[in-house]
Amino acid sequence: IFISHCRYALGMEDGRITDDDITASSQWYKTTGPQYARLNREEGDGAWCPAGQLEPSDVQYLQVDLGRLTFLTIVGTQGRYARSSGNEFARAYRLNYSRDGLLWKSWRNRLGNPVMEGNKNAYASVINDLHPPIVTRHIRLIPVTKLSTTVCMRVELYGCPWDDGLISYTAPEGQLMMPPGYPIASLNDSTYDGAHERRRLSGGLGQLTDGVIGLDDFLLTRQYHVWPGYDYLGWRNDSLGTQGFVEMEFVFDRQRNFTSMKVHSNNMFSRGVKIFSSVSCQFKPRLIANWEAEPVAFKTVLDDRNPSARYVTVPLHRRAAKSLRCRFYFADIWMMFSEISFQSGNGIKHDNQTFLSEQVNITTSCLFVHQRTPYSNPSASDSPDVSNTPVLIGCLVTIILLLVIIIFLILWCQYDCKVLEKVKRHNPTFNSVVARHQLFRCFYFEACGGGYAEPDITQCTPHQCFHSNAPHYAETDIVRLQGVTGSNMYAVPALTVDSLTRKDISAAEFPRQQLIFREKLGEGQFGEVHLCEAEGLPEFLGEGSPLPDRDGHSVLVAVKQLRADATSQARNDFLKEIKIMSRLNDPNIIRLLCVCVSSDPLCMVTEYMENGDLNMFLSQREIESTLTHANNIPSVSLSDLLHMSVQISSGMKYLASLNFVHRDLATRNCLLDRRLTIKIADFGMSRNLYSSDYYRIQGRAVLPIRWMAWESILLGKFTTASDVWAFGVTLWEIFTLCKEQPYSLLSDEQVIENTGEFFRNQGRQIFLYGPPLCPPSLFELMMRCWSRDIPDRPTFEGLYQALRPHVSQ
């Protein structure tokens, strides 16, 4: 299942779901019966309304029978509008579902919350993506209210047929991986909807059928706010007795002829994880029958070279069965699966087949684009329904690329050795420094010794190259301000930050007990960032509060908090950070709302946007087209993208006017509200979701090297001009819809080498390519942001002026 394409309306609005299939616990009048619960329709009195006032403790439901097992991905709701005579709607609702019509289960999102936000008025429809999606035939929508009120609903359901036919799997519970020196990975099946008894899962479906495949590194996850290992279900070989295998049982809706089983498995052998060495499956033709004697066995080809997670396809020789029992044998200490699917029958093709292959054709032209997309996109490697051509093309492209890289390396080496030869002749002591840092040798030499201010080359170690504040290069005296919560903050002119006291902090003191903890957003060395509900904050801030208008009196905020064990230096920095933040006031910069500094722990409270960050937002969307409209795929238009770019340039223009340097501009640090207003923030580095965007030097500094100007990497020099460079990269991200990390084909070391090429400027540097969506004039602008010489780069004012005319209105 390609979750991002399984978003077809299932027929409430257009009537494919018949009146008989829609029932309810009650109805107010005949004219507000369940058959009127159809999205965008106005028959009867315009919606389904349960009888009487809905009390907070009431359970009233609208029930839909989808007629077959369905992979449900989205629910859309609307209130009763009745050509403007109605005004009833459900502000919140939850879902129950049943695969067999008898046993009902409650849906919860990935964070365990069962209640979804509903409508805010009677006419607009509100779409909720189901994370996780539901495999079901029957579904109940249950309006939820905090006050006694009348509710009415119209509904559409979205998804696609569940052709796998799997109705439950049974497995040993997932385990904890606790290696010294790494975060604990919890490899449990956290969305499993069956029973969990005596260390076994039975009678349900969960993460192995949620359409989300895990990443190569099992510690990284595709979800926000979850724990390392979330996407995988995993077991250790010595924990299941001495048998050396994991046994799973799969039950299907009816007897099927199985052609194959695909198991998406991690293969990070450096951490003791491998795909299974072999598997043996037994078949049962009917529910009540014996397992057939002859199993199907399959040995995999183990792979010690490529650590990528992959689909392993197990042929099942068209054996007929209603249930299957498979033993997966360990090849290493750990075995981890993120998804299992079954192919059976005569390949029931559903109507969206042509649409899918069209999509695949588009995506094969950029095979490498999907590395960081949140959901399984149709790329060649994980699509079960596509012929082998894309795979072949992919292999050929890879081989050609490898050859190019090898040739490049050979040429590079020859050049490199000549340079080194020269250095050695002039300066024998340099040799030992070089030897220890093979990879970085060339640019260290040139950046430290060549051309610029001629510092003594023997004094130049890699750390100095990275970390020195390089005073003799700096245009203005910059004080480095490392955010103590782990995030790299703004740098400010030196004069403004000394001798700090409470009266310098203009933000008001908020009563700490009114901050209600919701979840942890991230943490750094000395602090943590929490998502909190701030009770009474709108009243507290009063007139002119920067908060958007809301219904409730509490709002979600991000709270940065200093840990008790923080050093006094960190404490000082934290106060500086507060002071700087409290002076920023721009519609496109995240706002400091209030602080708690009268007692420990010190806190600062900033705005939080429920729509998340721009990276997440764009990576889940496609560019608007008739296809996305027809299939309800979330989309953005080119003018939305331009509008976002203008807003970021505007916020940066403001920072630049105050001589503030951001140092970490990127889409992950731009937050987004419902009206697509962008606010530049800084929490990227504290979230492990984005850890691959940062480069760690010998465990010390953490740098976003793919966004950094050459002079920031080589000379430690951060200025507004290096922010302009990062802005160019941010634009590039926006116009690739964040489907790819910048320079995704280069390793971190190669990115740093490429930086040396930027410095040398002999035409061998690799630039980011022009995204297909991006107008040529805009790509020219990006290229100017990446000019080697600072005067050649545009200013933010110039960028803003250049971008603004592109936006219509």
Active site residues: 664
- Residue of 92, 115, 333, 439 that binds ligand NAG (CB under 6 A): 333
> What is the closest distance, in whole angstroms, from the C-beta atom of residue 181 to ligand NAG in the complex?
19
Residue closer to ligand NAG, measured from CB, 523 or 797: 523
By CB under 6 A, is residue 270 in contact with ligand NAG?
no
Residue closer to ligand NAG, measured from CB, 203 or 493: 203
SS3 call for 441: helix
Which H or E element spans position 244?
A: none
Q: Which two tokens stand for residue 479?
A: 């004080």
Among 53-61, 236-244, 277-285, 566-574, the segment contacting ligand NAG (CB under 6 A): 236-244
User: According to CB under 6 A, which residues from 739 to 768 bind ligand NAG?
Assistant: none
> What is the closest distance, in whole angstroms, from the C-beta atom of residue 211 to ligand NAG in the complex?
19
SS3 call for 721: helix
Smallest CA-to-CA distance from 17 within 101, 137, 125, 102 is with 137
C-alpha Rg value of the chain to the nearest Å: 29
Please work out the total of residues on this chain that contact ligand NAG, with binding judged by CB under 6 A: 11
Q: Which two tokens stand for residue 292?
A: 């057939």
Q: Angle CA(637)–CA(639)–CA(642) in degrees, nearest 5?
A: 120
- Residue of 175, 237, 265, 736 that binds ligand NAG (CB under 6 A): 237
> What is the closest distance, in whole angstroms, from the C-beta atom of residue 250 to ligand NAG in the complex?
20
> What is the closest distance, in whole angstroms, from the C-beta atom of residue 227 to ligand NAG in the complex?
5
> What is the closest distance, in whole angstroms, from the C-beta atom of residue 276 to ligand NAG in the complex?
12
- Residue of 224, 227, 355, 767 that binds ligand NAG (CB under 6 A): 227
Residue closer to ligand NAG, measured from CB, 242 or 513: 242
Residue closer to ligand NAG, measured from CB, 188 or 323: 188
- Residue of 27, 119, 136, 186 that binds ligand NAG (CB under 6 A): 186
Q: Cα separation of 453 and 409, whole Å?
A: 30
> What is the closest distance, in whole angstroms, from the C-beta atom of residue 493 to ligand NAG in the complex?
45
Instruction: Report the amino acid identity of residue 612.
Output: G
Each residue 634-653 as x (binds ligand NAG by CB under 6 A) or -, in order, gives --------------------
> What is the closest distance, in whole angstroms, from the C-beta atom of residue 571 to ligand NAG in the complex?
32
Residue closer to ligand NAG, measured from CB, 333 or 457: 333
> What is the closest distance, in whole angstroms, from the C-beta atom of residue 112 to ligand NAG in the complex?
8
- Residue of 163, 332, 613, 740 that binds ligand NAG (CB under 6 A): 332
Q: Which two tokens stand for residue 677?
A: 């207003």
The set of residues, in sequence order, having a beta carbon less than 8 Å from that of 468 and lying 6+ positions away, is: 715, 716
- Residue of 70, 175, 190, 667 that binds ligand NAG (CB under 6 A): 190
> What is the closest distance, in whole angstroms, from the C-beta atom of residue 173 to ligand NAG in the complex?
8
Q: CA neighbours within 13 Å on the CB side: how many for 550? A: 18
For every residue of 154-180, DSSP letters joined together read EEEEEEEE-TT-EEEEEEEPP-EE--T
- Helix orientation angle between 720-735 and 638-657, rounded to the nearest 10 degrees: 170
Q: Cα separation of 205 and 99, whole Å?
A: 11
Among 138-146, 184-192, 450-458, 598-606, the segment contacting ligand NAG (CB under 6 A): 184-192
Smallest CA-to-CA distance from 29 within 95, 92, 88, 78 is with 88
By CB under 6 A, is residue 338 in contact with ligand NAG?
no
The set of residues, in sequence order, having a beta carbon less than 8 Å from that of 631 and lying 6+ positions away, is: 5, 7, 8, 352, 355
Q: Which two tokens stand for residue 60?
A: 């009233």
Q: Angle CA(266)–CA(136)–CA(377) in degrees, nearest 5?
A: 40
Residue closer to ligand NAG, measured from CB, 188 or 363: 188
Lookup result for tokens 């695969």? 99
By CB under 6 A, is residue 454 in contact with ligand NAG?
no
The set of residues, in sequence order, having a beta carbon less than 8 Å from that of 312 and lying 6+ positions away, is: 262, 263, 264, 265, 275, 276, 300
Do residues 208 and 169 touch, judged by C-beta distance below 8 A? yes
By CB under 6 A, is residue 242 in contact with ligand NAG?
yes
Lookup result for tokens 């079960």? 384
Q: Which two tokens stand for residue 66?
A: 């989808």
> What is the closest distance, in whole angstroms, from the C-beta atom of residue 719 to ligand NAG in the complex?
43
Residue 560, beta-bridge partner list: 529, 604
User: According to CB under 6 A, which residues from 301 to 330 bind ligand NAG?
Assistant: 330
Residue closer to ligand NAG, measured from CB, 112 or 763: 112
User: According to CB under 6 A, which residues from 678 to 717 bind ligand NAG?
Assistant: none
Each residue 109-148 as x (binds ligand NAG by CB under 6 A) or -, in order, gives ----------------------------------------
> What is the closest distance, in whole angstroms, from the C-beta atom of residue 402 to ligand NAG in the complex?
31
Residue closer to ligand NAG, measured from CB, 188 or 606: 188
Residue closer to ligand NAG, measured from CB, 332 or 664: 332
Lookup result for tokens 């904050």? 537
Residue closer to ligand NAG, measured from CB, 51 or 226: 226
By CB under 6 A, is residue 238 in contact with ligand NAG?
yes
First to last CA, the chain: 40
> What is the closest distance, in whole angstroms, from the C-beta atom of residue 132 to ligand NAG in the complex?
12
- Residue of 23, 168, 188, 359 that binds ligand NAG (CB under 6 A): 188
The set of residues, in sequence order, having a beta carbon less than 8 Å from that of 426 and lying 6+ positions away, is: none
Among 53-61, 134-142, 237-245, 387-395, the segment contacting ligand NAG (CB under 6 A): 237-245
740 to 163, 417, 619, 736, 737: CA distances (angstroms): 31, 34, 9, 7, 8
By CB under 6 A, is residue 244 in contact with ligand NAG?
yes
Residue 256, beta-bridge partner list: 321
Residue closer to ligand NAG, measured from CB, 224 or 227: 227
By CB atoms closer than 10 A (0-12, 13-18, 19+), residue 538 is middle
425 to 85, 225, 430, 760: CA distances (angstroms): 90, 55, 10, 21
Q: Cα separation of 188 and 680, whole Å?
A: 36
Q: What is the largest CA-CA distance in the chain?
A: 96
Residue closer to ligand NAG, measured from CB, 240 or 366: 240
Do residues 554 and 534 touch, judged by C-beta distance below 8 A? yes
By CB under 6 A, is residue 77 in contact with ligand NAG?
no
Which H or E element spans position 14?
A: none
Residue ranges in contact with ligand NAG by CB under 6 A: 186, 188, 190, 227, 237-238, 242, 244, 330, 332-333
